[in-house]
Amino acid sequence: MRFMFAAILFCGCSREQTKPQPQMREYNWPIMGTTANLILADDGVDAEKAVGIAKEALEEVNSKLSVFVPTSDASKLNANLGCDYTTYHSFEMIIRSFYFNKITDGAFNPMVAPLVELWGFHRGGEKYDFPPPAEAVSNTLKRCGIEMLHMEHDIYGDDEGNTWCENTIFISAGGRIDFGAIAKGYAVDVAYEELRIAGCTNFLMNLGGNMRASGTREWKIAVRNPLKGVDDEPLEHITLTNGMAVATSGGYEQFHERDGVRYCHIIDPRTGYPAQGVEQVTVIANDAMTADALSTACFVLGAEASKKALAECGASALFVVKNPDGSLRLERIGDFW
């Protein structure tokens, strides 16, 4: 398996270059299997405090949503222990997962975890000769429906006339959940909100290519060429302004190769096979969670079939597709262009 990170490069630039610019301060730290990167462009913001806030926010989300943290809500759900309503982040993720699953006609599906593992990604390993036999794929696919995920609402009342609602989340036996396609974007949004509440105005929060910009500056983001290295000439530049977010999904991030065929880590939940046809997709949205969820779904759907979900979210996308002669073609969807 090969891992390649940092689908996007970035640089900050200001709208008013003539004014003296506050110094950029940049901080990096490892989390969620990737690197968090915070660029502060505020004068006078206590950088140590800001980094502390961002770190805490990302760590909190990770502690609840990561399948690699044994005590997380996701791990409890996967162990069929259920999960009560007090776990706000997982509640939010489940609600959002149902929504993105619906608007992408099933292309976004966090219940695809058993297939991700069958194809030898994450903790699955290669149990079968690779690629796995068709029968194993179709049997595993049966355990990956979104209907394996349940959310129940119970209304309670007491003698004094108080009523309250409790939500319980659980997964049918054999199912497994994985928030890998949405959790990083969501974590960026949580950090973004916390930083804003603390008074940070001009900053860029980036978690492994899931980015959200804040403030009056314009942030120029370089979209990587999927056929080249991260330091090579970018394919395109995207300018983010206040509140906007971007995420990229690419088949080169994690993959296995057999007999000249590349099997990537994004699975088409409709077939059970790794998605094919798109090299890379970058989504620009009004929040990082939407950009993250849609970039994965658009990778599965391709440009044409993604239009509906992108329009529903007011998002735009840059698809990178390979022509038969091996050259790359860019397809732009949405109002951003």
Interface contacts to ligand AMP, rule CB under 6 A: 107-110, 112, 116, 121, 178, 180-181, 249, 253, 265-267, 269, 292, 295-296, 300
**What are 171's strand-pairing partners?**
149
Interacting partner of 269 out of ligand AMP, Mg ion, none (Cβ under 5 to 8 A depending on kind): ligand AMP
Smallest separation (angstroms) from ligand AMP to the CB of 2: 14
- Nearer Cβ to ligand AMP, position 205 or 267? 267
- Nearer Cβ to Mg ion, position 40 or 65? 65
**CA-CA-CA-CA dihedral for 329, 227, 125, 143, to nearest 10:** -10
Interacting partner of 116 out of Mg ion, ligand AMP, none (Cβ under 5 to 8 A depending on kind): ligand AMP
> Can you read off the two tokens belonging to residue 244?
């906007």
Q: Exposed e or buried b for every residue in 169-181, given b needs 16+ CB within 10 A?
A: bbbeeebbbbbbb
Smallest separation (angstroms) from Mg ion to the CB of 178: 11
- Nearer Cβ to ligand AMP, position 111 or 333? 111
- Neighbour tally for 189: CB within 10 Å: 22
**How many Å apart are CA 20 and CA 16, to the nearest integer?**
9
Provide CB contacts within 8 A for 81, sequence distance 6+. Answer: none
Residue holding tokens 């971007």?
246
Residue holding tokens 């290519």?
209
Interacting partner of 89 out of ligand AMP, Mg ion, none (Cβ under 5 to 8 A depending on kind): none
> Can you read off the two tokens belonging to residue 82?
């259920």
Interacting partner of 285 out of ligand AMP, Mg ion, none (Cβ under 5 to 8 A depending on kind): none
Q: At what angle do helices 183-197 and 88-103 cross, to 10 degrees?
A: 130
- Position with the least CB separation from ligand AMP: 180
> Can you read off the two tokens belonging to residue 263?
């099997």
In what order do the strands lie in the sheet containing 254-258? 2-3, 254-258, 261-264
Residue 253 binding Mg ion, by CB under 5 A: no
- Position with the least CB separation from Mg ion: 296
- Annotate each residue in 292-311 with x if it binds Mg ion (CB under 5 A) or - if it does not, as one string: x--xx---------------
Q: Tell which positions 173-212 bind Mg ion, by CB under 5 A.
A: 181
Residue 51 binding Mg ion, by CB under 5 A: no
Smallest separation (angstroms) from ligand AMP to the CB of 334: 18
Binding interface with Mg ion (CB under 5 A): 181, 292, 295-296
